[in-house]
Chain A
């Protein structure tokens, strides 16, 4: 391996220096032994079970996100209601090309590589998600079906996210084990927020200032 920062291969590379220092520093120290993983690896509840849905909703509301439950064939209506409640004109929203249904209506702009400036001029974005965590009120996007490029869920100020009940697991370990680390991942827990002023949380900084979750439950 040639270090791109080094000119002549004859000179010791910084890579070799740092690795050499590490080996000298650790030396003959005794092996610290196996990692004890006695923490809960599951939550004891099945994905999508009623208690997890309630917990997930409670956590989201705590982050000042809104939650609306509906059946699978009611998603388009639920999204339309959300948009109509926020805008007194037809909302301009972007959707990924592979959204599982006509959730955002026929007028939605399909992302075909829109520029950040174009996205900034739109009102919102409607997507699906990959996994959700009930205990922490977290939604994970992995760029898979119905989620699109990372930029489309970042620049518009409103994110409407459709979460299926069976995507909701109880705990963080259950979620991590369902994810593929090779994909670009975004964990979202409520709208953007900051604690930087006197360590008090206020919602709404650079990311979407509004997060609306549509929870798709069995009838």
Chain B
């Protein structure tokens, strides 16, 4: 008997658990981030490095566009019959000695994992980088239950030791430069060599030494998954360092937490994603290590395997025909690396483990728009994210849709939002090229208003309703179009 017969069961990610909501709206958080010049330099340096690498390895693939089309088609086909693919996945994993658990939300997923770890008698776990477990706040839940989680991915380790939050979906410590990482290691690793330098090679070796003993003795590992193949029950983790292999191979028990949208129908679908993902994410022809396993293999690797399938707002996202494409994301992070807004604010300003363009469309749908209302406005709609997305997610169109949804929600309550007023004015301006060019030049006058503090606290009505609750960043010296024309020589 179903509890939701007759009433829609929406199921957004619950409040009070996990990391999908910031403490303040994007404009306020971004204002602080913009004041941090070191942060901006670190992110600018890293994203420009990766953009060049990605462009080079994507450029050498003659059928890149055909691969993108196939990637999008596979994902759309999956979402259309997600229920039967998940049932198929479950049956195949169970047939191979694995156990499948279903979690409506973060709270339930945390409870399941905590219970499974406790049942092993272990009070510590090693973890492979996983966005899903960050999203649900699993580490906090484990710690509350007396279980110590050890992050083993280098960037996650830097975040964990720095008592920090992730700021990028691929490289969660992208906001830290080598000197800062060295300081964190010296401060937080009891076994760190006091003569540690800030050479990336030396820092990587310090992490190796620090975690070696943990890997060799760990009894329980927790991982995420990049893909799960319905027709075979095969799971896959794509990584670089070998910490993933360590976690997936050495412990007796493996617990994998995976969003329900990560399933793909067929084994041969992996031939598409194994080409799209590495080139889009780290800008490599192939990442150093990809592991695949199907249930339990007697005598090789973990002899106990649990898969936790997580909803936590994904079905709510699926319910919106204009927003569900956000579930197609394979978390490559290419859209973050090309986003002019992300490059300036960094990931923390978005308040969610999913920052950047994909975060701006995914986080508000997972939580419900009212809890992340400002995120769809965190974009200049320049379209760069759509161009690089390996599964062709049309993020700009989705952002506009979510803005409309937010405005409608406000209007239903009888109060137009300040965003709506601003957007209405902006739409009037943007709909005419002459008005737009004039406005851009006028905006530069705003620099005078914000000259002292790099922001504008008071705009004339009706725009004052925007600045009543937040300051407006001082407009940049040049607009994005002007910057593009100057640096690339043509209009975007």
Q: Which residues of A contact B (CB under 8 A)?
A: 1, 3-5, 10, 12-26, 29, 31-40, 59, 62-63, 113, 116-117, 120, 133, 135-138, 143, 149-151, 154-155, 172-173, 175-177, 181-202, 204-208
Q: Say yes or no: B245 contacts A198, CB within 8 Å.
A: no
Q: Say yes or no: A184 contacts B241, CB within 8 Å.
A: no
Q: Enumerate chain A residues within 8 angstroms of B335, measured Cβ to Cβ.
A: none
Decide yes or no whether B462 CB sits under 8 A from chain A: no
Q: Assuming A40-B63, A151-B301, A206-B242, what are 17 further A-B pairs, CB within 8 angstroms?
A: A13-B102, A17-B104, A22-B315, A26-B81, A31-B80, A35-B70, A37-B66, A176-B268, A181-B229, A182-B294, A186-B292, A192-B288, A195-B50, A197-B203, A200-B49, A205-B208, A206-B215
Q: Say yes or no: B311 contacts A21, CB within 8 Å.
A: yes
Q: Enumerate chain B residues within 8 angstroms of A32, measured Cβ to Cβ.
A: 73, 76-77, 80
CA distance A10 to B2 in the complex (A): 10
Q: Enumerate chain B residues within 8 angstroms of A13, measured Cβ to Cβ.
A: 102
Q: Which 9 pairs of residues, A with B, have the shortest CB-CB distance?
A: A207-B242, A21-B315, A25-B319, A206-B242, A205-B241, A136-B286, A187-B290, A196-B155, A192-B242
Partner of A195, one of B77, B240, B275: B240
Given the interface pairs A176-B274, A195-B240, A196-B173, the reply to whether A189 lies near B287 with Cβ below 8 Å is: yes
Given the interface pairs A185-B291, A197-B204, A206-B242, the reply to whether A21 lies near B297 with Cβ below 8 Å is: no
Q: Say yes or no: A196 contacts B153, CB within 8 Å.
A: yes
Q: Say yes or no: A194 contacts B80, CB within 8 Å.
A: no
Query: Helix, strand, loop or mixed for chain A's interface?
Result: loop
Decide yes or no whether B260 CB sits under 8 A from chain A: yes
Q: Please indicate which of the listed interface residues A22, A175, A208 has the most CB atoms of chain B within 10 Å of its own CB.
A: A22
Least CB separation from B79: chain A residue:
A26
Q: Enumerate chain A residues within 8 angstroms of B46, measured Cβ to Cβ.
A: 198-199
Q: Say yes or no: B66 contacts A135, CB within 8 Å.
A: no
Q: Enumerate chain B residues within 8 angstroms of A143, measured Cβ to Cβ.
A: 297, 300
Q: Please indicate which of the listed interface residues A19, A25, A29, A135 has the most CB atoms of chain B within 10 Å of its own CB.
A: A25
Least CB separation from B4: chain A residue:
A20
CA distance A117 to B77 in the complex (A): 46
Q: Enumerate chain B residues within 8 angstroms of A150, measured Cβ to Cβ.
A: 245, 249, 291, 300-301
Q: Say yes or no: B271 contacts A205, CB within 8 Å.
A: no
Interface-side segment among B174-182, B403-411, B482-490: B174-182
Residues in B44-81 with C-beta less than 8 Å from chain A: 45-47, 49-50, 62-63, 66-67, 69-70, 73-74, 76-77, 79-81
Sample (23) of A-B pairs whose CB atoms are under 8 Å apart: A17-B3, A20-B9, A21-B315, A22-B82, A24-B9, A24-B319, A33-B73, A38-B69, A38-B70, A150-B300, A150-B301, A176-B268, A176-B271, A177-B271, A187-B274, A198-B49, A198-B177, A199-B46, A199-B47, A199-B49, A202-B200, A202-B201, A206-B245
B104 to chain A, nearest CB (A): 5
CA distance A204 to B203 in the complex (A): 11
Decide yes or no whether B152 CB sits under 8 A from chain A: yes
Q: Say yes or no: B155 contacts A191, CB within 8 Å.
A: no
Given the interface pairs A18-B309, A182-B232, the reply to whether A29 lies near B80 with Cβ below 8 Å is: yes
Q: Please indicate which of the listed interface residues B152, B158, B200, B205 has the most CB atoms of chain A within 10 Å of its own CB.
A: B200
Partner of A207, one of B177, B241, B272: B241
CA distance A176 to B3 in the complex (A): 43
Partner of B234, one of A23, A33, A133, A181: A181
Q: Enumerate chain A residues within 8 angstroms of B2, measured Cβ to Cβ.
A: 12, 16-17, 20
Q: Say yes or no: B174 contacts A199, CB within 8 Å.
A: yes
Q: Enumerate chain B residues within 8 angstroms of A117, measured Cβ to Cβ.
A: 216
CA distance A22 to B334 in the complex (A): 28
Partner of B3, one of A12, A26, A177, A200: A12
Q: Enumerate chain A residues within 8 angstroms of B480, measured Cβ to Cβ.
A: none
Chain B 308-324 against A: per-residue CB contact (8 Å), 1 yes, 0 no?
01010001101101001
Partner of B321, one of A19, A29, A133, A176: A29
Q: Enumerate chain A residues within 8 angstroms of B284, measured Cβ to Cβ.
A: 189, 201
Q: Say yes or no: A5 contacts B288, CB within 8 Å.
A: no
Given the interface pairs A182-B232, A199-B50, the reply to whether A5 lies near B315 with Cβ below 8 Å is: no
Least CB separation from A206: chain B residue:
B242
A179 to chain B, nearest CB (A): 8
B276 to chain A, nearest CB (A): 10
Q: Enumerate chain B residues within 8 angstroms of A63, measured Cβ to Cβ.
A: 288
Q: Enumerate chain A residues within 8 angstroms of B67, measured Cβ to Cβ.
A: 39
Least CB separation from A150: chain B residue:
B249
